[in-house]
Amino acid sequence: MAKCNCTGKANACLGTFVPPIDLVDMLKYSAGKKDPTFSVALEREEGLVSRYDLPLPAKAESDPEVALLAERIVKFLLWSSGGWHIMLSGPEKLCRSIKRNYTLKGARKFDVDFMQTVYGKKFKVDIVDRKALPEAHERDLKIDQRTNGCRIGFDLGASDFKISAVKKGKVVFSEEFPWDPRNQADPEYHFNKLNEGLKQAAATLPRVDAIGGSTAGVVVSNRIRVASLFRAIPKERYPEAQNLFQRIQQEWQVTVEVANDGDVTALAGLMALGKKGILGVAMGSSEAAGFIDREGCLTGRLTELAFAPVDLNCCAPTDEWSGDQGVGAMYFSQQAVNHLATSFGMKFPAKMPLPERLKTVQAKMAENDETALRIYLKIGEYLAYSIPWYREFYGFDNLMILGRVTSGFGGSIITENAKMVLKKNFPDIADEVDVFMPDEKFRRLGQSVAAASIPSI
């Protein structure tokens, strides 16, 4: 494992990425059959459970690096799968340390508060005997290229939403509708706007058999739990907004099934490219992600990888929102581009927003600027070291990257350098995982068309 020997000063060891997977592999290799195992299970909606087990060599729990890794595993599982109830089993000292962190007064108070909002339940952590730890129980919504019937799909964005009507697999209507959901305090606005668009799409079909949707935000059991689309809605009316899709189902009297936009992006990869086992990573204003398993199923996992840790470096950059270090948003987003650009000496006007800074870097990349090249090479390196770590929790054989950061020549540099670094350091995984950017066929498909295929008729 690469160690960080710096003095703790900001940027003192910039670029020294410390991948958690190195320590995981070392512990697995060193542990004997009679040595302890650190186990964590997370319960989320409808009794769904995600679980992870890590063998530990004897007395390894006394090692500060192992204690850090164990906490990072819990944090990763929390943001990759979601949950309101953490169950821990293993060395008592290790488990108690983690339990102290995950309270409203602990180091992970942001995570606790967020998950309580998402699941509407008091967050708790229990230390249990390993025999009492539940086995994994995941959702598996099979997506089998559904082209039967007359379907409508929608994709809700911040400034517009898109609706498509699909008849027996053929798109007969596709239109974008402008709206301003973030500044509207009345939930009726959101319902009426979406319903108006659905009516226009329905007018092009002989009937409507099902409606599928893609939306920004956190979706649990067909409800938007947290979303910037509703940020102007007062707290006392927020439940009305969260029931938006239930109201649509009552209005139309057909099956309505909605997934977050990351999962629908992965679904579009399945439909357009014929690939299963896809983890899609969108590098935009933050890091968004979605997952289709090897059976071609949507799992309903949270997959908010922006807050999932990828780097154990003690000087890793800090995410302003969560207050945590080494999380995905700081490596695979506009934030990552800005952090690297300023660290490499690139200057921007103080008030220039991140999207404009990204455009500046992209323009320099088009001019073959050396600093811009270093930025994209570094992001590709980060991605390569993160792929085995992501794969430790997700069963994928295809990693699809997209988003504004990957636009232009920089995206190709990220992809190719990720492949090269992966091949050098993790040759077995490099042979098993295809790292790619979507092609024109994928872009033509669109989120709303992919979303139309989610419901079963």
Transcribe 341-363 into DSSP letters: HHHTT----TT--HHHHHHHHHH
Question: Same structural domain for residues 291 and 436?
Answer: yes
- Specify the pLDDT at position 6: 53
pLDDT at residue 202 is higher than 90 = yes
- Specify the pLDDT at position 442: 80
**pLDDT tens-digit series, residues 417-437:** 999 999 999 999 999 999 999
Position 452 in a domain: no
Position 144 in a domain: no
Residue 315 domain boundaries: 271-445
Question: Same structural domain for residues 118 and 171?
Answer: no
DSSP string, 204-221: TSS---EEEEEESSEEET
pLDDT, averaged across the chain: 92
Question: Same structural domain for residues 277 and 421?
Answer: yes
The identity of residue 399, as a single letter, is L
Question: Same structural domain for residues 128 and 25?
Answer: yes
**Residues of the chain with pLDDT > 70: what percent?**
96
Position 451 in a domain: no
pLDDT at residue 373 is higher than 90 = yes
Mean pLDDT of 36-43: 97
CATH number for 125:
3.40.140
Question: Same structural domain for residues 287 and 368?
Answer: yes
Which of 132, 165, 188 lies at the terminal end of a domain, its last residue? 132
Mean pLDDT of 122-144: 90
Helix (H) or strand (E) holding 258: strand 255-260
- Specify the pLDDT at position 398: 97
CB pairs under 8 A, 24+ apart, for 248-255?
248/191, 248/194, 248/195, 248/198, 248/211, 249/211, 251/195, 252/198, 252/208, 252/211, 254/208, 254/209, 254/210, 254/211, 254/455, 255/209, 255/210, 255/211, 255/455, 255/456, 255/457
Question: Same structural domain for residues 126 and 194?
Answer: no
Question: Same structural domain for residues 296 and 438?
Answer: yes
The identity of residue 162, as a single letter, is K
- Specify the pLDDT at position 2: 43
- Specify the pLDDT at position 55: 96
- Specify the pLDDT at position 145: 59
CATH number for 237:
3.30.420.40
Question: Same structural domain for residues 107 and 169?
Answer: no
Question: Same structural domain for residues 69 and 33?
Answer: yes
Question: Same structural domain for residues 279 and 236?
Answer: no
Mean pLDDT of 213-240: 91
- Specify the pLDDT at position 8: 44
Position 79 in a domain: yes
- Specify the pLDDT at position 12: 40
Nearest residue to 334 (alpha-carbon basis) of 384, 253, 405, 429: 405
Question: Same structural domain for residues 192 and 120?
Answer: no
Which of 99, 132, 165 lies at the terminal end of a domain, its last residue? 132
pLDDT at residue 273 is higher than 90 = no
- Specify the pLDDT at position 216: 84
Mean pLDDT of 349-376: 96
pLDDT at residue 365 is higher than 50 = yes
- Specify the pLDDT at position 144: 62
- Specify the pLDDT at position 142: 73
**pLDDT tens-digit series, residues 285-304:** 899 999 999 998 888 899 99
Task: Provide the number of structural domains found in the chain.
Answer: 3
Position 139 in a domain: no
- Specify the pLDDT at position 271: 87
- Specify the pLDDT at position 300: 85
pLDDT at residue 15 is higher than 60 = no
Position 329 in a domain: yes
CB pairs under 8 A, 24+ apart, for 134-138?
134/41, 134/43, 134/49, 134/51, 134/87, 135/49, 135/51, 136/41, 136/49, 136/50, 136/51, 137/47, 137/48, 137/49, 138/48, 138/49, 138/50, 138/299, 138/300, 138/301
Question: Same structural domain for residues 295 and 202?
Answer: no
pLDDT at residue 5 is higher than 70 = no
- Specify the pLDDT at position 201: 97
Kindly report which listed range (40-44, 313-317, 335-339) carries the lowest average pLDDT score: 313-317
- Specify the pLDDT at position 445: 74
**pLDDT tens-digit series, residues 47-75:** 999 999 999 999 998 999 999 999 999 99
Position 47 in a domain: yes
Which of 253, 282, 308 lies at the terminal end of a domain, its last residue? 253
Kindly report which listed range (15-24, 333-342, 400-409) carries the lowest average pLDDT score: 15-24
Position 260 in a domain: no
